């Protein structure tokens, strides 16, 4: 009975797994593009006497300016009842600009500020500034209409320049974009070059990975000993088709096999049930855990393995664990010695 080709299966799963990172990347990129990133990091310098409407027309919404002779209007800026800023005005003959400056913690607003570098966002004055014009006009002995005529319809708000929530959002979205892009690129690589998957590359530890993969693919076509749908046994390989990490195990490298079981709730069956897993240790020290099989599936797998490969260590025991650890330690010593001799060779 034929089994699914390994490379074809990896491609199919990569195609399915492409959907989530693609959606994540697109959604995060759309959010990121709609953030005023340029203005956050490339703030425009403008003159304190330059009308803000000119900056708005050039789409320079975030600006830096050297403000001088700032006077407290006596009015404050509140958000949800919380003091968030103080209104100041700057008057140049026939031009008046209003600023919302951040308050100093625990200190009242300064009546007069000689000079200050203000970095903020240009925002249009809303209807709430009518009361502000009234109080300013009284202080300056002007009429509200006369003051409104010389006041810029836009103001510079220091309290909304890249606030904390925007920074957090930007960082989270940027991480999402980078993560989505990285997963997307990796998934595309697997779609085009499935042989570069971790499952295939891991075969290098057992010899020529390409040759082993070709041998496994050939046996899956014509020489299958057992096929449960998810796990396939051939004369020389055990292959588990897994969406997360397909296992391709050369049986000649297997040392020890035993099963595990645990009781868990099954959402599909709406009850507690016993799950069985197969733990496989190879001569290189790799440990594969083939999870969540039914008991009858596991019994079939173990029957075929014990019939065709009687030299494995089967089932768990302390003696088997000691023997396997000893063999792995000796193999590691032998590999280290080979590396040492190779380095010392002329």
Looking at residue 324, which CATH number applies to its domain? 2.30.29.30
Report the C-alpha gap between 223 and 4 in whole angstroms. 13
**Same domain flag for 77 and 186:** no
Q: Is residue 295 part of a domain?
A: yes
Question: Do 183 and 112 fall within a single domain?
Answer: no
Phi, psi of 249 (to 5 degrees): -115, 115
Do 182 and 210 reside in the same domain of the chain? no
Residue 272 has pLDDT above 90, yes or no: no
Residue 274 banded pLDDT, cuts 50, 70, 90: confident
Same domain for 218 and 86 = no
pLDDT confidence band for 137 (50 / 70 / 90): confident
- Per-residue model confidence (pLDDT) at position 322: 92
Report the pLDDT averaged over residues 160-172.
69
340 or 238, which is more confident? Answer: 238
Q: How far is it, in rounded angstroms, from Cα 253 to Cα 90?
A: 81
CA distance 259 to 299: 10
Is 1 part of a structural domain of the chain? no
pLDDT at 8: 87
How sure is the predictor about 128, in pLDDT bands with cuts at 50, 70 and 90? low
pTM over 0.75: no
In a domain, 319, yes or no: yes
Q: Are residues 209 and 294 in the same domain?
A: yes
- Tell me whether residue 292 is in a domain: yes
Which pLDDT score, from 0 to 100, does residue 117 have? 92
Report yes or no on 164 lying in a domain: no
Q: How high is the pLDDT of residue 38?
A: 57
Distance CA 261, CA 275 (A): 5
Q: What is the pLDDT of residue 74?
A: 84
Which segment of 7-21, 105-119, 126-140, 208-222 scores lowest on mean pLDDT?
126-140
Residue 46 domain-assigned (yes or no): yes
Range of the domain at 30: 6-34+169-194
Give the strand pairing for 62-79 and 112-124: antiparallel
Residue 123 lies in a domain: yes
Position 264 in a domain: yes
Do 108 and 251 lie in one domain? The reply is no
Arithmetic mean of pLDDT, 7-23: 85
Number of domains in the chain: 3
216 & 302 share domain: yes
């Amino acid at each position: 009975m034929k089994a699914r080709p390994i490379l074809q299966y990896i491609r199919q799963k990569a195609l399915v797994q492409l959907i989530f990172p693609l959606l994540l990347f697109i959604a995060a990129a759309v959010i990121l593009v709609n953030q005023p990133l340029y203005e956050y990091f490339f703030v425009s310098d403008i003159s304190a006497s330059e009308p803000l409407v000119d900056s708005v027309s050039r789409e320079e919404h975030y600006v830096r300016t050297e403000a001088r002779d700032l006077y407290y209007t006596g009015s404050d800026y509140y958000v949800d009842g919380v003091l968030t800023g103080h209104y100041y005005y700057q008057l140049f003959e026939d031009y008046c600009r209003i600023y919302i400056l951040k308050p100093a913690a625990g200190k009242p607003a300064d009546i007069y500020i000689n000079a200050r570098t203000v970095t903020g966002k240009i925002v249009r004055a809303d209807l709430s500034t009518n009361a502000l014009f009234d109080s300013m006009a009284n202080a300056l002995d002007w009429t509200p209409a006369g003051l409104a005529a010389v006041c810029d319809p836009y103001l510079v708000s220091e309290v909304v320049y890249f606030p904390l929530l925007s920074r957090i959002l930007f960082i989270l979205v940027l991480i999402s974009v980078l993560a989505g892009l990285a997963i997307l690129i990796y998934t595309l690589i697997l779609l085009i070059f499935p042989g570069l998957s971790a499952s295939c590359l891991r075969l290098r530890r057992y010899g020529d990975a390409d040759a082993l993969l070709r041998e496994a693919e050939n046996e899956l076509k014509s020489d299958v000993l057992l096929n449960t749908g998810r796990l396939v046994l051939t004369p020389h390989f055990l292959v588990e088709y897994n969406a997360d990490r397909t296992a391709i195990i050369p049986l000649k490298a297997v040392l020890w096999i035993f099963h595990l079981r645990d009781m868990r709730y099954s959402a599909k069956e709406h009850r507690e049930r016993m799950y069985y897993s197969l733990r496989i240790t190879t001569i290189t020290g790799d440990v594969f855990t083939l999870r969540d099989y039914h008991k009858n599936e596991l019994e079939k797998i173990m029957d075929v393995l014990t019939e065709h490969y009687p030299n494995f260590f089967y089932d768990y025991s302390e003696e088997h664990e000691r023997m396997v650890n000893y063999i792995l330690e000796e193999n590691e010593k032998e590999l280290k010695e080979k590396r040492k001799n190779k380095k010392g060779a002329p």
